[in-house]
Structure 1
Amino acid sequence: MNIIGNLLWIIFGGGIFLFFGYVIGGIALCLTIVGIPFGFQCFKIGILALSPFGQKVVTTESNSGCLAVIMNVIWLLTGGLCVAVTHLVFGLLMFVTIIGIPFATQHMKLASLALTPFGKDLR
């Protein structure tokens, strides 16, 4: 069922466009040394944007808890909030139809990861 959901997501949900957008943004961020950690987070969100069905976003316990909070604040201030709000708006628009509800839940998952990507992992 996850394979069918992911194929429908790629074709009808715009997953391929989201994936390429996050990958291009990640490459642009990785051009500078300071942007490399943020570029890796874009790649992580891009992987989830390509195949969100069957994947879960989990909070990881790491030794860099304070650093993750600081990086999440920088992420929010430099564009993460806009990306999360965009996923939230698309999710709310897809909740209007019954057919769009599975896609809307995936947009909400992407919005939660796009809001604070540091300290979270995909499983």
Structure 2
Amino acid sequence: MSLLLNIIWILLGGAWMAFGWLVAAVIMAVTIIGIPWARAAVNIALYTLMPFGYTAVPRDRHTGQEDIGTGPLGTIGNIIWLVLAGWWLALMHVVWAIALAITIIGIPFAWAHLKLAGIALWPVGKMIVPKDEAGMPAHPRV
């Protein structure tokens, strides 16, 4: 079922939004200091192509340990991202969500765009995992 939804998703805005994430990644990479955000944008571009069957989770909750992206520096990184690229990516997702929500069949896709809009605003410290792995840490602490 996820495969079918992902194929329909690509046709209903997923490809355009993935392209938007890749444009953001290229812009960040060109600045050199934006390379960490560029890597994250590429990962989310892949997620934007196939959001059904996957979810974004806080990295520290999934791995069981904090890192630079999940601590105070991650918050600063998210603020910088929000100002430079996050707001326009989120706005594009919201526009697609509104357009798709007008139709009954588009409501699940509109919901996926709204979830991606939230990620677009605050992506640092998140990782994309299969939905069945979202609730449990990958490496539990002993």
TM-score by length of 2: 0.78
1:25-71 CA-to-partner distances (Å, cap 9, x unmatched) read: 31332133201011112102201111011111111212321110000
Structure 2 equivalent of residue 3 of structure 1: 3
Counterpart in the other structure of 1:55: 54
Structure 1 residue 112, shift from structure 2 partner? 1.2
Matched, 1:110 2:109: no
Matches within 5 A, 1:80-91: 80-91=86-97
Task: Provide, for residues 64-109 of structure 1, a one-character-per-residue CA deviation record: whole Å limited to 9, x for no partner.
Answer: 2111000000111113112212212321332221110111011012
User: Unaligned stretches of 5+ in structure 1?
Assistant: none
Q: Residue 84 of structure 1 contacts residue 112 of structure 1 at CA under 8 Å; is this kept in 2?
A: yes
SS in 1 for 2:123: coil
Task: Identify the residue that residue 18 of structure 1 maps to in structure 2.
Answer: 17
Say if 2:25 and 2:39, in contact at 8 Å, map to a contact too: yes
Percent identity of paired positions between Structure 1 and Structure 2? 39
Question: What residue number does 1:30 align with?
Answer: 29
Could you tell me how far 1:114 is from its partner in structure 2? 0.4
Greater alpha carbon shift after TM alignment, 110-119 vs 60-69: 60-69
Higher deviation after alignment, 86-95 or 32-41:
86-95
Q: RMSD of the alignment, in Å?
A: 1.5
State the aligned residue count: 122
2:99 paired with 1:93: yes
One-letter amino acid of the structure 1 residue matched with residue 7 of structure 2: L
Q: Does 1:72 align with 2:78?
A: yes
Any gaps of 5 or more consecutive residues in structure 2?
61-65, 130-142
CA 1:86–1:17: 2 relative to 1, 3 Å: closer
* Higher CA-based Rg: 2
The worse-fitting range, judged by mean Cα deviation, of 30-39 and 48-57 is: 30-39
**Structure-1 residue corresponding to 2:136:** none
- Deviation of 1:14 after TM superposition, in Å, equals 2.2
Q: Distance in 1 between matches of 2:27 and 2:86?
A: 15
Q: Which runs of 4+ in 1 moved over 6 A?
A: none
